[in-house]
Amino acid sequence: MTQLVDRAQVIPAELGQRKAAGNNYKFILGGFLIIGLVVGLIVQATLSTGAYYLTVSELQERIPAIYGERVRVSGTVVEGSEDWNPQEITLRFAIQDENNAQLLIVFEGPRPDNFQRAASAIVEGELRPDGTFKADTLLLKCPSRYEEEPEEIFVRAER
């Protein structure tokens, strides 16, 4: 009987050591999985939001390979090209780059208040096979907000 009692005391001690060693491996493996997941999410977020924008000429050079891909395009708004349809909530306009290459933009959404004063635009979306660019995002830059105010010149009237 004493042998059974001695064995009963030995077995739990051995199992406790094995269990502790197994738990350490689980925590280490779990930690590596969490770190790998966080790194993967950071890389994915950086690639999806850190998009470089193309000029109109660069976009046209990549046709037809760029059809259906999500890209950003930058250009100057062509004066007089605005076509706003309030019933369909659709804004059509053209942008051009320094090489005078033009691109027709179709933006479905509310018309920005500062569109008439816009000097340049960055649009994000995809190029359609018909040559129009369907924009999901429209960013406008107004020159009046970013220019220096002119210096005031005081003229002293002589009496």
Cα–Cα separations (whole angstroms), residue 27 to 15, 30, 93 = 18, 5, 57
Contact in structure between 131 and 84 (CB atoms under 8 Å): no
Half-sphere exposure of 4 (CA within 13 A, CB side): 1
Question: Residue 157's pLDDT is what?
Answer: 46
- Number of structural domains (the chain) is 2
Are 43 and 93 found together in one domain? no
Question: Residue 15's pLDDT is what?
Answer: 55
Contact in structure between 112 and 133 (CB atoms under 8 Å): no
Question: Residue 141's pLDDT is what?
Answer: 81
Question: Residue 104's pLDDT is what?
Answer: 94
pLDDT tens digits in sequence order for the chain, 159 residues long: 555 555 555 555 555 555 555 568 888 999 999 999 999 998 888 776 665 778 899 988 888 888 888 889 999 999 888 899 989 999 999 999 998 899 999 999 888 887 776 678 889 999 988 889 999 989 888 765 555 555 555 444 444
Contact in structure between 70 and 77 (CB atoms under 8 Å): no
Question: Residue 159's pLDDT is what?
Answer: 45
Are 78 and 2 found together in one domain? no
Are 57 and 30 found together in one domain? no
Are 37 and 59 found together in one domain? no
Q: Domain limits at 104?
A: 53-146
Would 154 be classed as within a structural domain? no
Are 76 and 27 found together in one domain? no
